Structure 1
Amino acid sequence: MEFGRPSATVSRFPPVPRDPGFAVYVHWPFCAAKCPYCDFNSHVRHQPVDQERYASAFAREIAEMAKRSAGERVTSVFLGGGTPSLMKPETVGAVLDSIAKAWDIAPDAEITLEANPSSVEASRFRGYRAAGVNRVSLGVQALNDADLRALGRLHDVDQAREAIGLARAIFPRLSFDLIYARSGQTVEAWEAELTEAIDLAADHLSLYQLTIEEGTPFYALHKAGKLKVPDGELSADLYEATQRLTEAHGMPAYEISNHAVPGAESRHNLTYWRYGLYAGVGPGAHGRLMGPGGRHAVATERHPETWLKMVEDWDSGIVTDDALTPAEEADELLLMGLRLAEGIDLKRWRRLAGRDIDTEVEADLRAHGMVERLGPDRIRATPAGMLVLDAVVADLA
């Protein structure tokens, strides 16, 4: 594919398998600065992090998680954060080597690393590729310098464009994130920005509406009336413009906030949304693994230094290991699967829930254009339903 707009009709990618696969998520919790909208488990440290010590701890926790998922074949690895591109390529290589020693790795496994587009971090791209990364996800967030400053980002638009071009030249696959429904944003401005993003994109875009999360600086500003964001009607218009433009340019939504050339969907994230199993490694990571009694919700200690000490003492930082009831699994399957354009397999949901979808509730949602059937055993949210997905899931559950 030449640099430029993706084809609306031709894909260079084979179809993504329907099997959810088995994924490994590795959380690098450190950032150069904390963005004012972010409520992720990320931390700023003003002294250099001992990367060799953390790599050794990752290896120990990886080995422990592998014991709990023996026989699985890894189809994707995701290095997320925080800011994983603050890791040296040698650290990334050590982590990926530890995963390869612990599990069988599929030959076509998707290996993604989240990165910021600053020039310092982009300079490491070739090292990450040599370490085994074959997909990069860039946190661009805006193609407007004023908004980048308002979002607390440390790069500018020129650096973002340069990083995108460099990533396209080095990695087989690329995604980048944009945030919309920003303060003062109009539909026309977003359409122009999104059109440029589509021209820059290789095969995948993640397009998120700005949400005001409690506990963040943006939350305090919003509560004080100092930060205004688009109202519900304008947000809906922005969402609809997003779907229309990406569809027209060959990158339809396959999930509520994710768009791809067919075949270039994120295999890692599809594992989550198709309710597959995955191991979570690192401070504050979550996983879903099989254990006594069925599927377990597993989570690790959030505070990085506390997690590090726990792993060095006991081989893991696990603080939660709860067996899920079939009803809880059914709710999670519904919550995750209805985010997808392909919807959910009702046969699988019935096996977990021990019942069928309430016919009256479904009929009411269908009458209001919120859900639709794709054959007798598959249901999905419509575009209108995606706008109020939490309510749709609550009704069906």
Structure 2
Amino acid sequence: MKQSLALYVHWPFCVTKCPYCDFNSHVRATVDDSAWRDALLAELAYEAALLPGHRLTSIFFGGGTPSLMPPATVAAIIEAATSHWPSDPDLEITLEANPSSVEAGRFAGFAAAGVNRLSLGLQSLDDAALKLLGRPHDVAQGLAALDVAQKQFARVSFDLIYDRPGMTLEAWDAELARALAFDTSHISLYQLTIEPGTRFAALHARGQLVLPEPELSADLFALTRARAAAAGLLAYEVSNLARPGAEARHNIQYWTYGEYIGIGPGAHGRRLGRASERAKKPEAWRTGVEAHGHGLLTDTPLTAQERATEALVMGLRLAAGIDRSHFQARTGMALADALDARKVAGLVAAGLLEDDLPGIRLTPAGQPLVDAVLREVAR
């Protein structure tokens, strides 16, 4: 059977830059849509020439704000991708969207282009929190966009950010209950983190942005899991919850260390045992594509140890954990050789990790501590 392949398409432009965001996003007064479509298609063709004999399982339009893309550009990329590779009959095609009324008006066009899953960046159901987060929409716009999305797409997910400054258990409980009542099949619930180089990082360093204490953060995490599970949404990954069968297949390809390519500024890929990264600045990326047919900044082979470390970092985020046989097939290294056995035993004894014949996985107690566990177990 042909090896599965996921395609990520990066659209780097946003209306505004959110103060917590460290993604490769840029604000531009104008965008030459035709030139951008041609450049993305050229880079897609470059990658397709490297990867014959694969099977396309998912396409993900991320950003930035890909709902600012013309639907015709989305349609052209989908058509090109499915002509380059045979695809699954139930090919998952996701597009990230922001809830402004202008972008919501494009949803019908995206559905007609072939998008069958929309991921909506609501981020909060509280207007004061949206203002703090620098979002260009309010709650009313967000809910209107969600209503349109649920009418246009069979599969809808939305994001919320919690563990915000000043948040209480009672406030998050009420906000989460409202979110779960919308009855989507997938929700991504992220604890706010301070990322280097963001405006929030500068405010945090000056003491002008204070996050909840660790004890409250742990309580918020536990509340999130309990309320979502009661509503039928299970945490299949640390921050992602879904009804059975509604998991994001594209992201699972990442977390199980499958093959994927990324096109567009700053996009990363893992294919043929190599790590690829595109130039981040949109203008530099386009110059590269025009000159060489691609905007690659680096394209380097990965050692077995590097592949193993990456597979650990990705795989332990999944509730199912890491399967031993799959790990060795993907990395060329036995799982036991990639782990610090003494530290694994200590984490098992502490009730944070399970280690058995099928593989390893975090326990419910270990899941909120995933980053700390990874620092311990990886060689």
TM tier, shorter chain? over 0.9
Residue 300 (structure 1) aligns with: 278
Q: 1:40 aligns with which of 2, 5, 23?
A: 23
The residue correspondences of 1:60-75 to structure 2 (distance < 5 A) are 60-75=42-57
Deviations 1:319-371 (A, max 9, x none): 11111111111111111110000000123445633462444322211110110
The residue correspondences of 1:7-156 to structure 2 (distance < 5 A) are 21-46=4-29, 48-156=30-138
1:20–1:275 CA contact under 8 A, matched in 2 = no
Instruction: Return the TM-score normalized by structure 1.
Output: 0.91
The one-letter amino acid of 2:142's match is: A
Q: 1:256 aligns with which of 215, 227, 238?
A: 238
1:102: how far off?
1.8
1:116: how far off?
0.4
1:59–1:95 CA contact under 8 A, matched in 2 = yes
2:324–2:334 CA contact under 8 A, matched in 1 = no
SS of 2:365's partner is helix
Deviations 1:4-59 (A, max 9, x none): xxxxxxxxxxxxxxx9932000000000000000010000002x200110000001
The residue correspondences of 1:232-311 to structure 2 (distance < 5 A) are 232-290=214-272, 295-311=273-289
1:283–1:302 CA contact under 8 A, matched in 2 = yes
The one-letter amino acid of 1:306's match is: A
Is 1:387 aligned with 2:365? no
2:186–2:241 CA contact under 8 A, matched in 1 = yes
Tell me the C-alpha RMSD between the 2 structures. Answer: 1.4
- Aligned partners of 1:244 and 1:189: how far apart in 2? 16
Q: 1:158 aligns with which of 140, 143, 149?
A: 140
1:117–1:159 CA contact under 8 A, matched in 2 = yes
- Aligned partners of 1:200 and 1:40: how far apart in 2? 28
1:242: how far off?
0.6
Q: 2:313 aligns with which of 300, 311, 335?
A: 335
Greater Cα shift, 257-266 or 381-390: 381-390
The one-letter amino acid of 1:67's match is: A
2:277–2:298 CA contact under 8 A, matched in 1 = yes
Q: Where in structure 2 are there 5+ consecutive unaligned residues?
A: none
The one-letter amino acid of 1:41's match is: N
The one-letter amino acid of 1:239's match is: F
Corresponding pairs, count: 373
Deviations 1:100-148 (A, max 9, x none): 2222221110000000011110000000000000000000000000110
Is 1:353 aligned with 2:333? yes
- Aligned partners of 2:58 and 2:334: how far apart in 1? 31
- Aligned partners of 1:380 and 1:223: how far apart in 2? 35
- Aligned partners of 2:181 and 2:276: how far apart in 1? 40
- Aligned partners of 2:351 and 2:323: how far apart in 1? 20
1:68–1:289 CA contact under 8 A, matched in 2 = no
Higher RCO (C-alpha 8 Å, min separation 6): 1
- Aligned partners of 1:171 and 1:396: how far apart in 2? 41
Deviations 1:73-111 (A, max 9, x none): 110000000000111111111121221222222111000
The residue correspondences of 1:177-216 to structure 2 (distance < 5 A) are 177-216=159-198
Q: Where in structure 1 are there 5+ consecutive unaligned residues?
A: 1-18
- Aligned partners of 1:349 and 1:221: how far apart in 2? 41
SS of 1:44's partner is coil
- Aligned partners of 1:348 and 1:202: how far apart in 2? 31
1:149: how far off?
0.8
- Aligned partners of 1:25 and 1:360: how far apart in 2? 38
SS of 2:366's partner is helix
SS of 1:250's partner is coil
1:247: how far off?
0.9
Identity, % of aligned positions: 53
Q: 1:324 aligns with which of 274, 289, 302?
A: 302
Instruction: Return the TM-score normalized by structure 2.
Output: 0.96
1:177–1:208 CA contact under 8 A, matched in 2 = yes
- Aligned partners of 2:208 and 2:240: how far apart in 1? 30
